[in-house]
């Protein structure tokens, strides 16, 4: 029987990753942060109606994307994400300009053709299920792809992510129930990124449970709470959890403690929050201290991405909006 493992920060941070991987993680973290900051700027300049995203979750979301088995179909991993997952998409190799197009709701928006908010990714050829705004519905949907993968065999898994506040919805309980049935346990990694907020509601307005991961215990789901602000710990814990789900074909519940660096969304101003841990800042201090990268190298990287994203934003500005008659497109799929 699986036993929940408690957070052991000392153990987790004692080992590190090889230099090449650290540099790669850092690179995507910077790119993702710059992307989110560009999206916020676009919103503030009137180049989009609404912003929501994941600045503050890069230390967790980048390792997640790098560890995913990318591709289409049952042999690859499915991702049922929420709307703070841009860093995972970039880690999978997605071009950031797509997110800008979605922010500007252009016809070229690769995820929704100008129909949906920023951060609402969809990419079938990589098994990225469409992100939708209702909180937690993805937890009710994810067991379906996991069930198909279980039957198919192989080592493809289903990953579902959502926030801590949304775990109050029944769909989170549905996910625990459907994933852990003794008749058919599912290869699913259930992730909760805990930023301790639900828009303006604090954790003590909702969470009676000590840890959200404790809820897995009642279902005999192996569970763990980790520090999602540390990319090294996130990488190691995600790797271990994913290996377990891949090989045992059983569920795993992971709660990652993360930060919310620009508030819930543009509805609350999208301004930088100074009193939260900034995972990128901390990681860069560590990389500098350990001699992995110099401050100059890291600043050069950030400047390069800032320039690239600024150029991309200018390009997107001139792209056409969807045509009014396109509202009738894609109501139904038609035979090929």
Partner 1 sequence: MANMAQAIRMALHYAEEHLGVMDIFGEDVGPPLGGVFTATQGLKRTWNSPLDERGIIGTAIGLAMAGQRPVAEIQFADYIYNTIDLLKIAGNTHWASNGDWNLPMVVKTPVGSGIRGSIYHSHSFDATATHIPGWKIVMPSNPLDAYGLMLSACQELNPVMYLEPKALLRVKGEERIPGEPEDERQLSKMIDAPLGDRSAWRPQWPALEPYAVPIGKGKVVREGDQVTVVSYGRTLPLCVKAADTLREQGVSAEVIDLRTLWPYDWDLVKASIEKTGRVLYVNEDTEVTNFGEHLMRRTVEELFYKLLAPPRLLAGKFVPGIGLADALELASVPQLADITQALQKLAAEEP
Q: Is 278 helix (H, G, I), strand (E, B) or coil?
A: coil
- How many residues touch partner 1 (CB under 8 A)? 45
**Least distance to partner 1 from the beta carbon of 142, Å?**
6
Task: Give CA–CA dist 120/138, Å, rounded.
Answer: 12
Which one of 148, 168, 203, 277 is in contact with partner 1 (CB under 8 A)? 148
E strand or H helix at 98:
helix 97-103
Tokens of 239: 């790797």
Of 93, 153, 170, 269, the one binding partner 1 (CB under 8 A) is 170
334 binds partner 1 (CB under 8 A): yes
Query: CB–CB of 159/77 below 8 Å?
Result: yes
Of the candidate spans 34-42, 120-128, 281-289, 294-302, the one that interacts with partner 1 by CB under 8 A turns out to be 120-128
Smallest distance from partner 1 to CB 34, Å: 26
Give the bridge partners for 76, in sequence order: none
Q: Which of 130, 240, 268, 272 binds partner 1 (CB under 8 A)?
A: 130
Instruction: Provide the token pair at 130.
Output: 């469409």
CA–CA separation, 256 vs 277, rounded Å?
14
User: Which residue number, 140 or 287, has a Cβ lying nearer to partner 1?
Assistant: 140
- Binding of partner 1 by 112 (CB under 8 A): yes
Whether 62 and 332 have beta carbons less than 8 Å apart is answered as no
Spatial separation of the C-alpha atoms in residues 98 and 110, rounded to whole Å: 6
Binding pattern to partner 1, positions 68-107, x when CB under 8 A? -----xx---x-x---------------------------
Separation CA 159–CA 152 (nearest Å): 16
Residues that bind partner 1 (CB under 8 A): 73-74, 78, 80, 109, 111-113, 115-116, 120, 122-124, 129-130, 132, 134, 137, 139-149, 151, 158, 170-171, 174, 177-178, 181, 329-335
């Amino acid at each position: 029987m699986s036993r929940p493992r408690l957070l052991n920060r000392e153990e987790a941070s004692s080992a590190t990753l090889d230099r090449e991987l650290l540099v790669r993680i850092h690179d995507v973290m910077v790119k993702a942060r710059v992307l989110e900051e560009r999206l916020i700027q676009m919103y503030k300049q009137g180049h989009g109606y609404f912003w929501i995203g994941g600045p503050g979750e890069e230390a967790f979301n980048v390792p997640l994307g790098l560890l995913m088995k990318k591709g289409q179909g049952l042999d690859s991993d499915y991702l049922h994400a929420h709307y703070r997952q841009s860093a995972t998409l970039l880690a999978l190799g997605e071009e950031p300009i797509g997110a800008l197009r979605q922010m500007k709701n252009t016809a070229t928006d690769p995820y929704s053709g100008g129909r949906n908010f920023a951060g609402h990714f969809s990419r079938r050829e990589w098994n990225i299920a469409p992100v939708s705004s209702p909180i937690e519905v993805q937890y009710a949907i994810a067991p379906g792809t996991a069930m198909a993968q279980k039957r198919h065999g192989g080592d493809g898994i289903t990953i579902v992510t959502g926030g801590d506040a949304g775990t109050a919805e029944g769909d989170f309980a549905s996910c625990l129930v459907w994933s852990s049935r003794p008749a058919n346990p599912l290869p699913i990694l259930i992730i909760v990124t805990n930023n301790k907020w639900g828009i303006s509601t604090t954790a003590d307005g909702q969470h009676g449970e000590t840890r959200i991961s404790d809820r897995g215990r009642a279902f005999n789901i192996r569970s763990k709470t980790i520090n999602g602000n540390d990319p090294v710990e996130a990488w190691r814990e995600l790797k271990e959890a994913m290996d377990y789900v891949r090989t045992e074909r059983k569920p795993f519940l992971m709660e990652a403690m993360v930060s919310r660096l620009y508030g819930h969304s543009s509805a609350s101003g999208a301004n930088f929050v100074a009193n939260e841990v900034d995972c990128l800042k901390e990681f860069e201090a560590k990389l500098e201290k350990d001699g992995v990268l110099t401050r100059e190298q890291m600043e050069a990287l950030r400047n390069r991405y800032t320039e690239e994203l600024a150029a991309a934003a200018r390009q997107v500005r001139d792209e056409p909006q969807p045509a009014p008659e396109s509202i009738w497109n894609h109501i139904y799929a038609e035979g090929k």
